[in-house]
C-alpha cells in the first residue's frame, strides 16, 4: 500500500496547498493565447494551455466564485462541461452550482493553491447548493467572502448531514456519467457514502477518494481529442473502488502527514515556452 501512496504522491495530483516561487510568470499573464486551435499541453500538474476561454461569471445553473483570483480560464471542453452540468442542476432544480478555480489564462503553475489545474482541464465545484444563489446572482463581494462549508462533522470522518443532501449525490453521478470526465476527486467519506448508497456502477469508478476535498469536489477532464501533446493519467482501476482500497483511506497510515517536501517548480514541456512568450 505504501507503494501506492508513494506513487500517488509522486504524481503530485494532490490539491494540497503548494507555493511556487514568486517569479512564476504564469500567474502574471492576464490574457490567453488566442491564435489557433485550443490545445492542452503537458500534464495536469506540469503543463499549459493555448486558446483558453473564460467561463462567464453567471450561467444557467451556476455562478462563478472568487472572481478576483482570475482563475476562470479553461479549455473550451471544460467550459462546455460546466455549462452542461449547470443545465442539469437547473432542470433538476438542485440550486446553483458554485464554481471555484479553473485555471489561469495560459494554464501553468499557480502561485498558491494547486499543483494541478495547469492544462485547463480541472475545475473545483463547491458542495453547496444555495437556495439564495438559485434565485439571484450573488454580488461580487459575496463571491469573495462566502465560504464553502465542509461536509464533514468537525474533524471526523463522518458526513455532516446538515451540509449534505441528495442534490450532491445527483450532481456527482451526473458529472461522473459524462464521457469527457476522466475522474472526480472527493473526500474519502464522500466516496464511502456513495458506495453505501449505490450498487456498483461504472460511473462510481471515476469518483476517487483523495485527501481534503471535503468542501469541494474536483472534476478532471480527459485530454481533448485534438490536444496531441496532452498527457493523460494512468487508467482508472477496474473496480468501483468500494473495496479495501477505500478502507485504507481511513487508516492511521493514510492520516499520517507525509514529510514536508520542498515544492519544486514543475518542469513544463518545451512547447509551453512558446505559449508563455506569445
C-alpha cell at 158: 463522518
What is each CA distance from 47 to 10, 151, 160, 232, in whole angstroms? 16, 31, 36, 11
Q: Are 120 and 78 contacting, i.e. CB atoms less than 8 angstroms apart?
A: yes
Interface size with Zn ion, residues (CB under 5 A): 3
Which positions from 100 through 139 interact with Zn ion, judged by CB under 5 A? Answer: 124
- Contact status: 187 vs Zn ion (CB under 5 A): no
Q: How far is the CB of 114 from Zn ion (least distance, A)?
A: 6
Q: How far is the CB of 37 from Zn ion (least distance, A)?
A: 25
247: Cβ contacts below 8 Å, ≥ 6 apart: none
Residue 124 or 173 with smaller CB distance to Zn ion: 124
Report the distance separating Cα 187 and Cα 168, nearest Å: 13
Q: How far is the CB of 161 from Zn ion (least distance, A)?
A: 24
Residue 15 or 96 with smaller CB distance to Zn ion: 15
Q: How far is the CB of 119 from Zn ion (least distance, A)?
A: 13
Classify 78 as helix, strand or coil.
Answer: helix
Where helices occur in 92-239 by DSSP H, the ranges are 131-135, 140-145, 166-177, 188-197, 202-206
- Contact status: 227 vs Zn ion (CB under 5 A): no
What is each CA distance from 29 to 75, 76, 101, 108, 179, in whole angstroms? 16, 19, 16, 10, 32
Binder among 108, 218, 219, 242 for Zn ion (CB under 5 A): 218
Cell numbers 450573488 correspond to 138
Q: How far is the CB of 127 from Zn ion (least distance, A)?
A: 13
- Contact status: 240 vs Zn ion (CB under 5 A): no
Q: How far is the CB of 218 from Zn ion (least distance, A)?
A: 4
Binding mask 10-39 vs Zn ion (x if CB under 5 A, - otherwise)? -----x------------------------
- Contact status: 215 vs Zn ion (CB under 5 A): no
Residues that bind Zn ion (CB under 5 A): 15, 124, 218
Amino acid at each position: 500500500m505504501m507503494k501506492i501512496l508513494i506513487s500517488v504522491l509522486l504524481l503530485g495530483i494532490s490539491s494540497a496547498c503548494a507555493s511556487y516561487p514568486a517569479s512564476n510568470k504564469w500567474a502574471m499573464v492576464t490574457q490567453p493565447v488566442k491564435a489557433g486551435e485550443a490545445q492542452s499541453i503537458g500534464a495536469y500538474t506540469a503543463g499549459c494551455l493555448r486558446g483558453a476561454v473564460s467561463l462567464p461569471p453567471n450561467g444557467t445553473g451556476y455562478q462563478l466564485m472568487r472572481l478576483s483570483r482570475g482563475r476562470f480560464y479553461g479549455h473550451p471542453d471544460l467550459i462546455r462541461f460546466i455549462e452542461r452540468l449547470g443545465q442539469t442542476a437547473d432542470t433538476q432544480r438542485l440550486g446553483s452550482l458554485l464554481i471555484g478555480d479553473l485555471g489561469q489564462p495560459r494554464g501553468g503553475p499557480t502561485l498558491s493553491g494547486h499543483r494541478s489545474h495547469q492544462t485547463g482541464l480541472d475545475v473545483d465545484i463547491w458542495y453547496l447548493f444555495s437556495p439564495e444563489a438559485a434565485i439571484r446572482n450573488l454580488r461580487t463581494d459575496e463571491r469573495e467572502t462566502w465560504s464553502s462549508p465542509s461536509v464533514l462533522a468537525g474533524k471526523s470522518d463522518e458526513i455532516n448531514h446538515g451540509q449534505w443532501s441528495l442534490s450532491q449525490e445527483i450532481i456527482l453521478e451526473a458529472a461522473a456519467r459524462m464521457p469527457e470526465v476522466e475522474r472526480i476527486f472527493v473526500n474519502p467519506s464522500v466516496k464511502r457514502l456513495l458506495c453505501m448508497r449505490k450498487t456498483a456502477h461504472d460511473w462510481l469508478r471515476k469518483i476517487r477518494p483523495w485527501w481534503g476535498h471535503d468542501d469541494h469536489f474536483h472534476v478532471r477532464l480527459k485530454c481533448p481529442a485534438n490536444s496531441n501533446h496532452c498527457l493523460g493519467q494512468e487508467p482508472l482501476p477496474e473496480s468501483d473502488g468500494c473495496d479495501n482500497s477505500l478502507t485504507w483511506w481511513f487508516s492511521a497510515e493514510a492520516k499520517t502527514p507525509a514529510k514536508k517536501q520542498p515544492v519544486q517548480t514543475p518542469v513544463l514541456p518545451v512547447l509551453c515556452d512558446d505559449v508563455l512568450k506569445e
